[in-house]
C-alpha cells in the first residue's frame, strides 16, 4: 500500500443529512412495543433512498449528456453519456440517495481529458418514480450498463457506489483501475451507521443484517467492499475525508489494509460530498487514470 497523503480545503465540511426527529421517535416507540414492528419499519427506511432535487450547479453537465433509459430486471434506471466513443471508458456510480451528476466536476475534467464517460442514476434515484431499491439493483444496473456500452477500463464509486462496483466485478465489470470515494468498508458498518442515524438499537441492526443474509442467501461479508477488494485486488485509489460524517474515515483505513494494490488518500475539511468537487482530489483522480 502506498503512503498516505493529505490535502486540505478552506471552510468547514457540510454536515450530514439529519433524520427528522419524528422518525427517530417512531423507531423508539415501536421498539418499546414490538421488536418485530420496529424491524419492519427500519427495513422499510433502509431500502428507501431519499430523492433530492438535482441542484442547478449540476444541470449544465446533465443537459449535455446523452440519456439512455435502461432496465435492471424490472427496475428502470438512467445512464448518462459524455465524451468520445472509442476513448478509454469510465463508469461513475453514485452512493445511496445520490445521483450521477454529483460527479459533475469530475465529469467535466474527464471530458476535457478525452475520456468516454458514463454515470448512472441507479434504480429509485435521480428523480425515478420507483421508491425502494437495494445494493444488488445498483450492481445489476452496472452489469446492464456494461452490456449496453461495452467494457469499462476505469470505475469510480462514491460511498455505496464503491461497494456496488466491487460486487459488479464478480459479474461482468473488468475495470483495470478502481477509485473509491467515501466508501464503507463493510455492510455491517452500513447497517450500524443507518441504525445510529434513525435511532434504532444494535438489536434492530442485527435483525436487519440477518434479514439481508436470509433474503439474498449470503453472508454480508460476501458483498462487503473489504473482502471483495482483497479477493479482486485491482489497482486502486481510496479517497476519504477525515470530516466525513456519513461514513467514518476509519472505513478507508480498514479498506486499505485489505486492498494491497491501492493507494490511500486522506483529505481534511471536505466531508462526504464536497470531496467530489475538490480540485486537488480531481487532479489526483485524473492523474491516476491515464488517457492512453
pLDDT digits (tens, 9 = 90+) for 152-186: 999 999 999 999 999 999 999 999 999 999 999 99
pLDDT digits (tens, 9 = 90+) for 215-225: 999 999 999 99
Residue 97 contacts residue 49 (beta carbons within 8 Å): yes
Q: Could you tell me if residue 204 is inside a domain? A: no
Beta bridge partners of 8: 268
pLDDT of residue 9: 46
Mean pLDDT calculated for residue range 252-267: 97
pLDDT digits (tens, 9 = 90+) for 149-161: 999 999 999 999 9
Average pLDDT, the chain: 93
Domain that holds residue 180: 5-18+66-192+223-288
Q: Could you tell me if residue 203 is inside a domain? A: no
Residue 6 confidence (pLDDT) above 80? no
Q: Could you tell me if residue 10 is inside a domain? A: yes
Q: Whose CA is closest to 121, among 143, 98, 149?
A: 98
Structural domains counted in the chain: 1
Mean pLDDT calculated for residue range 132-149: 97
CATH number at residue 239: 3.40.50.1820
Q: Could you tell me if residue 138 is inside a domain? A: yes
Q: Could you tell me if residue 118 is inside a domain? A: yes
Residue 49 confidence (pLDDT) above 70? yes
What sign has the CA pseudo-torsion 201, 18, 104, 59? Answer: positive
Separation between Cα atoms, residue 92 and residue 126, nearest integer Å: 14
Three-state secondary structure readout of the chain:
CCCCEEEECCCCCCCCCCCCHHHHHHHHHHHHHCHHHHHHHHHHHHCCCCCCCCCHHHHHHHHHCEEEEEEECCEEEEEEEECCCCCCEEEEECCCCCCHHHHHHHHHHHHHHCCEEEEEECCCCCCCCCCCCCHHHHHHHHHHHHHHHCCCCEEEEECHHHHHHHHHCCCCCCCCEEEEECCCCCHHHHHHHHHHHHCCCHHHHHHHHHHHHHHHCCCHHHHCHHHHHHHHCCEEEEEEECCCCCCCCHHHHHHHHHCCCEEEEEEECCCCCHHHHCHHHHHHHHHHCCCC
Asked whether the whole model's pTM tops 0.75, one would answer yes
Amino acid at each position: 500500500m502506498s503512503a498516505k497523503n493529505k490535502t486540505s480545503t478552506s471552510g468547514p465540511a457540510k454536515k450530514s443529512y439529519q433524520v427528522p426527529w419524528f422518525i427517530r421517535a417512531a423507531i423508539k416507540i415501536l421498539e418499546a412495543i414490538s421488536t418485530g414492528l420496529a424491524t419492519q419499519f427500519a427495513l422499510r427506511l433502509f431500502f428507501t433512498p431519499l430523492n433530492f432535487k438535482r441542484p442547478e450547479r449540476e444541470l449544465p453537465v446533465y443537459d449535455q449528456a446523452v440519456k439512455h433509459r435502461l432496465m435492471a430486471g424490472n427496475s428502470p434506471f438512467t445512464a448518462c453519456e459524455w465524451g468520445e466513443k472509442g476513448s478509454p471508458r469510465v463508469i461513475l456510480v453514485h452512493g445511496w440517495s445520490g445521483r450521477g451528476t454529483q460527479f459533475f466536476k469530475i465529469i467535466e475534467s474527464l471530458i476535457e481529458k478525452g475520456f468516454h464517460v458514463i454515470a448512472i442514476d441507479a434504480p429509485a434515484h435521480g428523480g425515478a418514480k420507483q421508491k425502494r431499491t437495494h445494493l444488488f439493483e445498483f450492481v445489476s444496473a452496472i452489469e446492464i450498463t456494461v452490456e449496453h456500452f461495452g467494457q469499462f477500463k476505469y470505475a469510480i464509486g462514491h460511498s455505496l457506489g464503491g461497494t456496488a462496483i466491487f460486487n459488479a466485478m464478480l459479474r461482468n465489470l473488468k475495470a483495470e483501475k478502481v477509485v473509491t470515494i467515501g466508501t464503507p468498508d463493510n455492510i455491517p458498518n452500513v447497517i450500524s451507521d443507518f441504525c445510529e442515524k434513525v435511532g434504532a438499537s444494535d438489536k434492530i441492526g442485527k435483525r436487519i443484517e440477518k434479514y439481508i443474509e436470509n433474503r439474498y442467501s449470503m453472508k454480508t461479508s460476501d458483498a462487503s467492499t473489504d473482502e471483495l477488494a482483497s479477493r479482486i485486488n485491482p489497482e486502486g485509489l481510496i479517497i476519504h475525508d477525515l470530516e466525513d460524517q456519513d461514513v467514518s474515515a476509519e472505513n478507508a483505513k480498514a479498506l486499505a489494509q485489505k486492498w494491497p494494490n491501492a493507494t490511500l488518500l486522506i483529505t481534511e475539511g471536505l466531508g462526504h460530498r464536497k470531496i467530489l468537487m475538490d480540485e486537488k482530489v480531481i487532479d489526483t483522480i485524473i492523474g491516476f487514470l491515464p488517457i492512453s
